[in-house]
Amino acid sequence: MSQKKPEKLIDENDIRYDGRKLNEMRPIKIEVGVLGNADGSAYIEQGKNRILAAVYGPREIHPKHQALPDRAALRCRYHMAPFSVQERKSPAPSRRELEISKVMREALEPSVFTEYYPRTAIDLFVEVLQADGGTRCAGITVASLALADAGIPMRDLVSACAAGKAEGRLVLDLNDLEDKSSDGADMPVAYMPNLNAITLLQMDGMLTNEEFEQVLNMGVEGCKQISQLQRDALRAKYVAAKEAAGEKEEEPEEADE
Amino acid sequence: MSSVMAAKVKAKRVAQLIARGKRLDGRGLNDYREIQIESGLIERAEGSARVRLGKTEVLVGVKIEMGEPFTDTPNEGVLTVNAELVPLASPTFEAGPPDENSIELARVVDRGIRESKTIPTDDLVIEPGKKVFVVFVDVYVLNHDGNLIDASALAALAALLNTKMFNYEVKEGEVKIKPGYKPLPLRDYPIAVTFAKINDQLIVDPWLEEEQAMDARLTMAIEKDGKICAMQKGGYGTFTTQQIIEASKIAQQKATELRALVVKE
């Protein structure tokens, strides 16, 4: 469904058209353990973005020649649903999706102890059900939780957030309209807060040196905020599981004969 | 990671229980699993719905775009149904172009909607022979626990009921989109009902372990007046004519029950 384009994205009081301040993130809702079949899964809503991630593995690798002798092969597929965007997107993977799959894998691999599972595959699927700018970042955030939910040993959670520029002003967590605005820039950052390590950095648009530094700091600060939400979501799953286990003592399985 | 042997043991267990009129999950032979329907989750889509059928989970998004009519039907809009067995839905699904299972799923869902003339395709013509509306129904399987056909058909119907059509006018051959939306008028509400045959016994709504144990599968799409508008048999087994007639009677009854969950009249 089409959205109306406002005349100005940022008003004279530094309020963005969706009501946010310049350094304010969109509302985020995260759930862990949402899919029955996957070994690990998570779901995120960030503004209008709606993204599911699932992990299968470590499992046997096919085709065999992709096996790595010293570590697991982390394989990542970022994909958008045909109905996730304004104009229907063909379900065949686009060049953009292939590139994002690659940078996403490289953003997450540093966090995983792949050396514990040589010759296996860890398959990570990220499905964008609805897109509104910043899906690669939200995708990394949710994928990292799915890996944790699968019980895969990790050095840290990876959190991702974009910062950039819209109509000449520096802003955090750009949505689709802001991303496409004039005199803009978009810089996705992925970050492991406990290790203080950036695992993904991309940029398009135009930034001065000074702006670049500010935007990078904004991005990292955004990642730190997201990291806290990730931890809360992960904890919430185990609290819920513990409560459910406490309630039901007996097995509901019907006795045989 | 169930091995071949484990699967055989499970299949035997499923069959033994059904011979005694029971099912592994405690349902009666003609009972559906619990059904949850949520509509309008995807604002970007003209229509959308998610159906949970037990642990099976399907999301359907409807998009409407302008396109060309088929040359043999210049005065009709176009309906396209596509299904994706997304790899996050099952350890057995792989990324890549649609395989025969996803093509069959899409085509069975398509047939139910098309043959019941649910979509008013004659109303979707902008300029005969040149420009019409194309209704894309995209089925997205999110968790596979059996009976994808019924879950997908139900989600497709719920998404179509939730679909908004944009207002437009044609001026000198140019289409102008006007503000506001109206519901896409539907002419029927087809419901798919799927049976599995295990041990020569029919059961409705097979879940994954029953699908793995079944000899054959039979789907019937039922219109709102009880007529059958589409059928599909699957699997290597066979049915007798009595079994098929019995199935059609159960299907009509089940379709009425399921329809009441989506169509609020």
Residue A192 distance to chain B (closest CA, Å) = 25
Residue A242 distance to chain B (closest CA, Å) = 21
* pTM of structure: 0.86
The answer to whether B177 contacts A81, with C-beta atoms less than 8 Å apart, is no
Strand order from edge to edge, sheet including A28-32: A28-32, A40-46, A49-60, A120-130, A73-80
The CA distance from A45 to A240, in Å, is 20
The 10 Å Cβ neighbour count of residue B27 is 18
Whether A121 is in a domain gets the answer yes
Whether A154 is in a domain gets the answer yes
Instruction: Say what percent of chain B tops pLDDT 70.
Output: 98
Whether A13 is in a domain gets the answer no
Instruction: Give the per-residue pLDDT at B236.
Output: 85
Q: Tell which of A66, A75, A77, A88 to mutate to test the B interface (max B CBs under 10 Å).
A: A88
Instruction: Give the per-residue pLDDT at A164.
Output: 96
> B-chain residues within 8 Å CB-CB of A86?
44
Instruction: Give the per-residue pLDDT at B173.
Output: 74
> Residue B61: which H helix or E strand, with range?
strand B56-67
Residue A104 · residue B95 · CB < 8 Å = no
pLDDT one-digit tens code per residue, A131-163: 999 999 999 999 999 999 999 999 999 999 999
Strand partners, B176: B169
Please choose, from the candidates A62, A94, A91, A92, the residue with its C-alpha nearest in 3D space to the C-alpha of residue A75.
A62
pLDDT one-digit tens code per residue, B79-107: 999 999 999 999 999 998 888 899 999 99
Mean pLDDT of B143-149: 98
Question: Does residue A88 sit at the B interface (CB-CB below 8 Å)?
Answer: yes
Chain B residues within 8 angstroms (CB to CB) of chain A: 1, 26, 41-46, 48, 55, 57, 59, 61-63, 65, 82, 84, 86-91, 95, 97, 136, 138, 140, 142-145, 164, 166, 177, 181
The answer to whether B95 contacts A48, with C-beta atoms less than 8 Å apart, is no
- Kindly list the distances between the CA atom of residue B205 and the CA atoms of A91, B35, B109, in Å, as whole numbers in the listed order: 28, 11, 16
Residue B24 distance to chain A (closest CA, Å) = 9
Q: Which of B26, B42, B88 is nearest residue A83 as measured by Cβ atoms?
A: B42
Instruction: Give the per-residue pLDDT at A249.
Output: 55
Q: Which of B44, B59, B88 is nearest residue A38 as measured by Cβ atoms?
A: B88
Is the predicted pLDDT of residue A257 greater than 50, yes or no? no
Report DSSP state, residue B21. Answer: T
The CA distance from A56 to A41, in Å, is 9
Which tokens is A10 given?
A: 């940022």
The answer to whether B89 contacts A123, with C-beta atoms less than 8 Å apart, is no
Domain housing B54: 27-262
Whether B253 is in a domain gets the answer yes
- Domain CATH number, residue A37: 3.30.230.70
Residue B48 distance to chain A (closest CA, Å) = 9
Mean pLDDT of A30-51: 97
The answer to whether B164 contacts A41, with C-beta atoms less than 8 Å apart, is no
Q: How confident is the model at residue B1 (pLDDT cuts 50, 70, 90)?
A: very low
Residue of A nearest to B95 (CA): A77
Is the predicted pLDDT of residue A253 greater than 70, yes or no? no
> B-chain residues within 8 Å CB-CB of A77?
87, 95
> A-chain residues within 8 Å CB-CB of B34?
none
- Using alpha carbons only, give the angle A230, A231, A235 rounded to the nearest 5 degrees: 120
The answer to whether A35 contacts B57, with C-beta atoms less than 8 Å apart, is yes
Q: Look at chain A and report how many structural domains it folds into.
A: 1
Whether A227 is in a domain gets the answer yes
Q: Which of B48, B88, B95 is nearest residue A54 as measured by Cβ atoms?
A: B88
The 10 Å Cβ neighbour count of residue A237 is 18
> Residue B50: which H helix or E strand, with range?
strand B47-53
Question: Does residue A63 sit at the B interface (CB-CB below 8 Å)?
Answer: no
Instruction: Give the per-residue pLDDT at A2.
Output: 59
Please choose, from the candidates B99, B219, B200, the residue with its C-alpha nearest in 3D space to the C-alpha of residue B148.
B219
- Strand intervals (E) in chain A: 28-32, 40-46, 49-60, 73-80, 120-130, 159-166, 169-172, 185-192, 197-201, 204-205
- Domain CATH number, residue B82: 3.30.230.70
Q: List A residues 166-205 in contact with B (Cβ-Cβ < 8 A).
A: none
Instruction: Give the per-residue pLDDT at A81.
Output: 97
Matching residue, tokens 């978009």: A186
pLDDT one-digit tens code per residue, A201-251: 998 988 998 999 999 999 999 999 999 999 999 999 999 988 988 876 555
pLDDT one-digit tens code per residue, B207-241: 999 999 999 999 999 999 999 999 999 988 899 99
Q: Look at chain B and report how many structural domains it folds into.
A: 1
Phi/psi region, residue B97 (left: phi>0; alpha: psi -120 to 50; beta: rest), is beta
Q: Which of B87, B89, B138 is nearest residue A83 as measured by Cβ atoms?
A: B138
Whether B21 is in a domain gets the answer no
Instruction: Give the per-residue pLDDT at A18.
Output: 94
Which tokens is A214 given?
A: 């500010």
Instruction: Give the per-residue pLDDT at A254.
Output: 52
Whether B86 is in a domain gets the answer yes
Is the predicted pLDDT of residue B36 greater than 90, yes or no? yes
The answer to whether B86 contacts A127, with C-beta atoms less than 8 Å apart, is yes
Whether A22 is in a domain gets the answer no
Whether B4 is in a domain gets the answer no
Is the predicted pLDDT of residue A121 greater than 70, yes or no? yes
Q: How confident is the model at residue B3 (pLDDT cuts 50, 70, 90)?
A: low
The CA distance from A54 to B58, in Å, is 15
Strand partners, B137: B62, B81
Whether B19 is in a domain gets the answer no
Domain housing A108: 28-239
Whether A124 is in a domain gets the answer yes
pLDDT one-digit tens code per residue, B112-127: 999 999 999 999 999 9
Instruction: Give the per-residue pLDDT at B7.
Output: 82
Whether A17 is in a domain gets the answer no
Whether B7 is in a domain gets the answer no
